[in-house]
Every structure is written in C-alpha cells, then in structure tokens.
Chain A
Amino acid sequence: MSDRDDILQRLRAAPRGKAPLLPDVSAFHAALAAGMPASTPAARRTLFCEKMAFWHGEVVRVTHDSWPEKLRELCLAKGVRSLLCGERHAVALRGAGIEGLKTYDRPLEEWKAELFQNIEAGLTSTRGGIAETGTLIIWPDASEPRLLSLVPPIHFALLDARQIYDNLFTAMSEQGWSAGMPTNALLVSGPSKTADIQVTLAYGAHGPKELIVLLLVDEEELA
C-alpha cells in the first residue's frame, strides 16, 4: 500500500466523534466590530500609520501626481544610486528623472548576481493595507516580481490610502481572495528583522533594512 493510502486509511479508521459545525469567522468579526466605534477611512489610516511606525516602517504622504518626484527626493536623500521598479511604474519614474533607475524586465536567472549586489532600493505597488497590524498587502506578478520587495536593502511601497482595511479578515473577504490566489501573496509589516541573538532586535536580517510607505492621499489633504 502506498504511504498516501496508508495514512488516509488510518485517519478514516479513527472514531469520528461529534463533528463540530463550520466555524463562523465572519460572525466573530461582526460581533467584534459591533463593540467598537464605527470604522472610518480616517481612523483606519491613522491606525495604520501608528502601527507601521511601531514596526519601524516610515510613512510618507504623497499624491497621485507628485509621488514620482517625491520618490526622487527620497532616493537622493538616502543616497540611493540604483532603484529597481516593475514595468508598471517605469514610465512615470523615468519621467521624474530618477537616476540609476532599472526595470525588473528579465527572468531572475539572467541577472541574479546583479540584483543581489547592485540594487539599492526597490519600488512595489500594494493591493492595500491593514490598519490593525500596520501591514501591506502585496501580490507580486509578472510586472512586479516577488524579489522586488525582498532583495533590495530599501523597499518603497506605494499604498492608496483608500485601500486600508480594518483587519486581515475584512481585507481578504472584501477583495475576494479565496476566489483565486496568485502564485505568491505577501503580507509585509515593516523591514526584515530578527531577535535570534540574545533576544536583541536587529533590522535587516535577510530582507530590506528599511521600509518606506508612500501613502497616496488627495491633494487637499497634503496641503
């Protein structure tokens, strides 16, 4: 008998007992929400920024028109000489005249060493944010590959302030994740870190040492 059949047979031979009903996760969250003040976009944004700061993530407010220029300034201020982006934002960033701009336009195998050794920052889009935990939702794709948010020592992430959800459960249900997951989906809360040496926190363990969120807000809010 194969190991598969053997395992399944042993599991099926076990006493069944009383089968629990399907857990109602949405009722749990509804009850939780009922006991709290109504969720507003402004409150979610404030909480997101607070939590992101707790994780050592930086939040910079930008607008739809000005963000490439702001990113150029940030790169200059941080001494970034090579910024990697996906094809999605390549045109806008080239327009802003960012120096050392590179596009992730080849399969990894063709430039692995260069990606690891010569890229100082990466820019990704996000699918939204989570207020409760200060978290970015990132779904890498053909335009913005998985390593764009991992290998460069600085990670810039563009987040639309209107796309901030209360918690992970509301984000995944409102965005309909279970209908079709991408090959890789990520939640990112701050730069990479470890406390494996004597419980002392250190940033930049294997991934980015810095995470900067470019929070897209309306013109009038910025003014």
Chain B
Amino acid sequence: MNTQALRFVPASEFKERAAAAVADEHLRHSFRGAMDFLIGKRAAQFPDPVALEQQRALAEHIRKYSLARLPDLLEQLERKLTENGIQVHWAADPEQANRIIIDIARRHSTRLMVKGKSMVSEEIELNHAMADAGMEALESDMGEYIVQLDGEKPSHIIMPAIHKTKEQIARLFADKVPGASYTESVDELIGIGRAVLREKFMAAEIGLSGVNFAVAETGTLCLVENEGNGRMCTTVPDVHIAITGIEKVVEKLEHVPPLFALLTRSATGQAITTYFNLISGPRKPGEKDGPREVHLVLVDNGRTQAYADEQLRATLQCIRCGACMNHCPVYTRIGGHAYGTTYPGPIGEIISPHMLGLAATHVLPTASSLCGACGEVCPVRIPIPDLLIRLRGEAQHDERPGHFPMLGQGAAKSRVIDAIWAGWAALYTRPALYRAFGWLATRFRALTPPMQSGWTVSRTPLKPAGQTLHERMAARKRP
C-alpha cells in the first residue's frame, strides 16, 4: 500500500502545469471524452428549461436561507446531534481537524481507517497526517482507491480517477495488488477492488466519511453515493467519524429533497444515486450493527472569511456537484491536477483563495475565459464569473473601505501595472494630452517595439495606424 506523504503542489506554478497538461494529448482526450459524456447525461435530466429554473430558484433559496441562519443552525445541529448521541467537534483549521481525528483514532488503538469519499479530508490532508501518526488511512471509493494506490490525488471531485485509462488501471492493479493478475475487463477490475476492500472494511477500527447535507432539526447526516463503500465505512467499523465544512447545514429535513435532486442530476446525470444514507445516531441498545461511536468534525478552514462578505458568501452555497468543472472549457483542457488545489475547476478558483490565501492562489481566478458556463449550470446559482472578477480585483488592490482584508489581499499588485493604468487614465481624461499622444504614436509608429510582453507570446505585435481616427474623420468631412 502506498502511504507516502503527498503534499499539494503550489498553486502558484499553475501556468507551467497547465502548459504541460495542454500538451498532453492523451490527458486531453480523456477529459474531453469524460466531460462530454457528463454534459450529455446532465442535459438529458433537464429537458424542460422552465422547470429547471424553478428547481434552481428553490435550491438557491434554500442555500441562501440556510447561510443567512448559519451560526444558529450550527448550534441547533450540535444540540440535536448531541441529543442523538453523536459527538460534535469544531476545527478552525486543518491542523486542528487532523488533531481531533488522530486523537479519536489513538483512543481506539487504530491501525487502519477506511475512508468513504470526503473532499474535506483531502482539504486537510488527513491521509498524510494519519501516516505521520503511524496509522493507515485507506480510500475505499473505487476512484479514490485507484488514485491513492498510484500515489496521486483526485483529478475531479466526483470522478477522482477520470484521468486514467482502464489499461493504466489494469497495469496498476497487476503491479500493486497482491495476487491480482492483469485484466482489462472493467468488471474484473472492480471485482479485484471489491475483494481487497471488503477485507479492509472488516479489519478497520475506524470509518471516515464526508457529509453532503447536515440537517439541524433532526440531527441527521446525509451521504450520497453509488458504490456502497460509504455505507460500509459508516456501518462496519466500531467508530464512525464524519467530517464536513461548516456550510453544509440545512434547517429542515424537507430542505434536503430539492438539493439532493439537483445534486445527482447535475453531477452525473442520475435522477438519484444508488444509496442515500441518513445517519442520526450510533448503534442503539438492542441494535446489532452500526458504529458504537459517531463523531462529526465541523471544519472552517477559511469558510468564515468567505462568509464575512455578502457577495463572496455565495461561494458557500456550493453543494459540490462538479457541474461547473464538467462544463468549464479551461478545466476540460488542463484537467484537475493542474490547479494544484483540492478543489479544481471554477469552484476551486473561488473557494481556494479563502482556504489558502490569495498569495498562493491569485492566479486561479484568472484561469477562466469568463464564458459564464459555470454560472449557468450551477444548480444553486452561484454567480461564479462575478466572484472570479471580484477575486481578481482583490488580488490586485487593497481591501475595499468597510471590508476586512482577505488573506493575501493585494498579493498580485504590481507597480508596473498600476503605473500603466494611471498613465491610461491620465491620457483618457485630458483631451489635449490624448491628442498629443495620438499624434506622437502615429507619427513615430516605426518605433513601436516588436516584442510586447504577454501580447506577442502568441499574437503579432500591435502597431498604430499612420493617422489617428480623429484625423481620418476630419479628412472625410472636408468636401
């Protein structure tokens, strides 16, 4: 088993990785094919655009309502879960979240933790922290299992191994799974994973899962999945730890169906997943299975920064369906790994700056053509393009009056660019200066430099015309 330390690659080297990914024909083929497939499947689920807009309006309303009451709902959730026998923990940052989980694991003399799919556990780099503490954390979602076996990170939040072909997976299993022979049959490959992981479910002291929705009124944790590994992780081991971002809470159970319906349809184009697992407590006296202890770890990790601003708060409406990345022309061309962050694609571009700071991530909001596809498909109507523009601005400027500075505020500020804009503003607000500049630029056009920084990387150099537009218009008017 590969338990080597895996640190995230710095987001600041995004451009180099993006260039490498764009040059990788095989990778682009994988992503293009998979994204087209998912786009088609999603579209088939929403044949009526009017009905879709009504569903999106309701889902957006539920998420905005929940966020408006977030601190109250978190307290209500904590109260109900505690009544139900679930222990609630709070973590402001990844270090604290890992500490909480490792403490619980140590208390139960854990050797093996089996994990259901959880992006928050990727966000806090739990596997690495567990390895440092001398315990194994094994991914059990088939896609996650495959990427972990190969020492990689997921390249998509819903389909983690989307960048791999079945031939690569066949080779990987034959090399790394004891007793497995080489097969390119997908059924047989899944069978190999199933057999290995069933042994692990039986052996593990702890199961860890994410949470899709947490219901405050009933104290219920909802998990969405197709494979059944999430149910295994939350049922077979003696201890279940759920981990989630603080934004996942909704007030009422009836708020779940509209979000759930849009989540699965937007994510994989399924009307529903195979399993929807609602957990409201540990094993009761008399019950014969289920964990004896259930914990919930609520993680902040920058979410309160997004919450502090009324526009950026919309980032937290996200239900992690991945539709924005499936429809993103940039994501489709560079794949998930190029971003270097837990969450790739448009959602990653707007959430990562809060988690990691703008100093490390200011390039991410620029990885967009602002085509608007992400905002159009978002089931909870997050105005992703607006937020991208806002974050670009925050990276270039000091904080707005009356706003808290963001982590890494103004990290991309450049004296040269500021000077260019100041010069531009001066030219365009002073008519005499503007005409003088126009006269000089046209008369001395031969002196225009042939290399014009970023512009000439892939374009011919700009060169002023021989006369300004003003002069040409004036010439036309003369009889």
Asked if B278 lies at the interface with its beta carbon under 8 angstroms from chain A, I say yes
Asked if A145 lies at the interface with its beta carbon under 8 angstroms from chain B, I say yes
**Which of B65, B190, B218, B313 makes the CB contact (< 8 A) with A22?**
B65
Q: Given the complex, which residues of B lie within 8 Å of A181, measured CB to CB?
A: 218-220, 253, 278, 280
Whether A28 contacts B258 by the Cβ 8 Å rule is: yes
Given contact pairs A23-B61, A55-B274, A169 touches B235 in the complex (Cβ within 8 A): no
Asked if B367 lies at the interface with its beta carbon under 8 angstroms from chain A, I say no
Mind listing 18 A-B residue pairs with CB under 8 Å?
Answer: A10-B304, A16-B68, A106-B288, A141-B287, A142-B286, A145-B287, A172-B253, A183-B282, A183-B283, A184-B279, A189-B275, A194-B227, A195-B226, A197-B166, A197-B189, A198-B186, A205-B229, A207-B227
Number of residues of chain B lying within 8 A (CB) of chain A: 93
Whether A198 contacts B290 by the Cβ 8 Å rule is: no
Which of A106, A112, A146 neighbours the largest number of chain B CB atoms within 10 Å of its CB? A146
Residue-wise, chain A 99-116 has the 8 Å CB interface mask toward B (1 for contact) of 000001111100011001
Asked if A135 lies at the interface with its beta carbon under 8 angstroms from chain B, I say yes
Asked if A78 lies at the interface with its beta carbon under 8 angstroms from chain B, I say no
Given A17-B310, A196-B146, A202-B190, 6 additional A-B pairs, CB 8 A? A11-B246, A20-B64, A145-B290, A187-B272, A187-B278, A198-B169
Whether A20 contacts B65 by the Cβ 8 Å rule is: yes
Whether B289 contacts A197 by the Cβ 8 Å rule is: no
Q: Interface of chain A, helix or strand or loop or mixed?
A: loop
Asked if B75 lies at the interface with its beta carbon under 8 angstroms from chain A, I say yes
Asked if A217 lies at the interface with its beta carbon under 8 angstroms from chain B, I say no
Asked if B176 lies at the interface with its beta carbon under 8 angstroms from chain A, I say no
Asked if B329 lies at the interface with its beta carbon under 8 angstroms from chain A, I say no
Question: Which residues of B are interface residues toward A (Cβ below 8 A)?
Answer: 33-34, 37, 54, 58, 61-62, 64-65, 68-71, 74-75, 84, 90-92, 96, 140-143, 146, 159-162, 164-166, 169, 186-187, 189-191, 193-194, 197-198, 201-202, 217-220, 226-229, 231-232, 235-236, 246, 252-255, 257-258, 260-261, 268, 271-284, 286-290, 298, 300, 304, 307-310, 313
CA distance A142 to B324 in the complex (A): 43
Q: Which 8 A-B pairs have the closest CB atoms?
A: A207-B228, A196-B143, A187-B276, A205-B227, A206-B228, A4-B90, A192-B228, A133-B272
Asked if A188 lies at the interface with its beta carbon under 8 angstroms from chain B, I say yes
Asked if A122 lies at the interface with its beta carbon under 8 angstroms from chain B, I say no
Q: How far apart are B184's CB and chain A's nearest CB, in angstroms?
A: 10
Chain A residues 52 to 108 lying within 8 A of chain B, measured CB to CB, are 55, 104-108
Given contact pairs A145-B287, A185-B280, A198 touches B165 in the complex (Cβ within 8 A): yes
